[in-house]
Amino acid sequence: MKLQPILDELFAMTFHAGIKPGLERIEDLCLGLNNPHLRYPIIHVAGTNGKGSTCSILASILTRAGYKTGLYTSPHIMRFNERIRVDGVTISDEDVVRIASPLMGKARGNGGTFFEVTTAMAFQYFAERRVDVAIIETGLGGRLDATNICQPFLSIITQIDIDHTEYLGTTLELIAGEKAGIIKQGAPVVIGHREPLPILRGVFERKAENVYTEIQFAEDAVFVELDTIHPDMTMTVSVVGNDELRYYTTDLCGKHQTMNIATAIAALPFIRSLYFVDEEHVREGLQNVTKISGLYGRCQLIANDPFTVLDVSHNPAGVAALCETLFASGREQQSMQVVFGAMADKDVVSMLKEIVPMAHTIHLCAPSIARSMSVENLAKVATAQGITNTALHESVSHAYHAARAHGPTVVCGSFHVADEVMLVR
């Protein structure tokens, strides 16, 4: 079989089956594969913001240390294959077809979803490749996420924010409770959420206590501070831990990435209980996260003339972090052409409010996906908020080229916007 018909049916599951929290179907799918997720050590990562970057930082360090490292993240930007990587190399089209075909046959019978089939595919591929370690990112929440059938040796929870309220709850406490569902007996957990409210600390501490496992708050172990953002959108950070001060340069950029770096470094003592990772592995891994792990779309400089940055931020906290980074790099207020599109279920009002300080003009567009908010509705939302410096475009491509014709540009709002920009740039 060819890849495209498989992907067409796989993506159609999103609309037919939707999102179904629960572990019964993924357990059934993996049982038919002889439970591949139990054949190698796993680091399991949940969170609202920063989990993809944290996964990629750890994958880069472990790959640089010489370990065959599986990395499962979502969503992808350009190609489905990006979701499943070993040492930064994506799964081949042939392997997608070979592994997905029988899984989809079984999913038709048990009501399996797109994400469940994809997760089972990743588990199986990593088993076939005999990875030394797999880093698995949750899709939605944690407790009932398909990835939560794994038995990790380490769990990590990154920054928590309000998102997916229809599934996870409407308060930070409820959302933290869902994320805490990945904490398991025998697997220590690192909490990367910075300055958590006492009530959130309590959520994580109670869950760790209930399953008799060790908990480490990253901010109690290490302090990472932004030192310099360089013109190529790399940065240097200072790291204080174990009474030592170190400086690292990384190809990730932004003050928000300091939290992810701190979380990864706080996880290293637990990782070193199974793997040899020295200081040079950490230094080179941080310096080449994008190159080694295959991560991109995180405040990424994609062109110089004019200056153009691509970012997959798709909630208010992510957009705020992007703006903060651009200002820290020397960009002036209201100096950027902003290409913006979003999914209809996102907090578009708050995202637009965060964009206003950096935007000369906001180029509104809708990626070619059914879940997108239409350009007309984006314009209505902007107008209702008193935002008038907007331009409406018939496509992401048109918005991107129009923006760059007028000066420095930033693209944000959705993975799907980033996808279409990467195809036309």
Last residue of a domain, one of 262, 293, 324: 293
Identify the pLDDT of residue 92: 97
Cα–Cα nearest to 303, from 228, 406, 404: 404
Say if residue 154 is in the same domain as residue 35: yes
Residue type for position 173: E
Cα–Cα nearest to 315, from 356, 358, 359, 345: 345
Residue type for position 228: T
CATH number at residue 184: 3.40.1190.10
Say if residue 13 is in the same domain as residue 162: yes
pLDDT (tens digit, 9 = 90+) per residue, 28-45? Answer: 999 999 999 999 999 999
CATH number at residue 410: 3.90.190.20
Say if residue 208 is in the same domain as residue 282: yes
Say if residue 313 is in the same domain as residue 186: no
**E-strand spans in 192-328?**
215-217, 223-229, 235-241, 244-250, 300-304, 307-310
Q: Which domain holds residue 383?
A: 300-424
Residue type for position 373: M
pLDDT beneath 50, residues of the chain: none
Identify the pLDDT of residue 328: 87
Q: For residues 99 and 90, give the distance between their C-alpha atoms in angstroms, rounded to a whole number.
A: 14
Identify the pLDDT of residue 47: 93
How many domains does the chain fold into?
2
Identify the pLDDT of residue 196: 63
Helix or strand (DSSP H, E) at 138: none
Identify the pLDDT of residue 330: 87
Q: For residues 37 and 35, give the distance between their C-alpha atoms in angstroms, rounded to a whole number.
A: 5
Which residue shows structure tokens 């944690």?
A: 142
Q: For residues 425 and 415, give the distance between their C-alpha atoms in angstroms, rounded to a whole number.
A: 15
Say if residue 209 is in the same domain as residue 280: yes
Last residue of a domain, one of 257, 272, 293: 293
Cβ-proximal residues to 315 (8 Å cutoff; 6+ apart), any chain: 48, 49, 161, 162, 163, 346, 347, 351
Say if residue 304 is in the same domain as residue 269: no
Q: What single-letter DSSP state applies at residue 317?
A: H
Last residue of a domain, one of 246, 270, 293: 293
Which residue shows structure tokens 């501070």?
A: 225
Say if residue 397 is in the same domain as residue 272: no
261 in Cβ contact with 222 (< 8 Å):
no
Say if residue 257 is in the same domain as residue 311: no
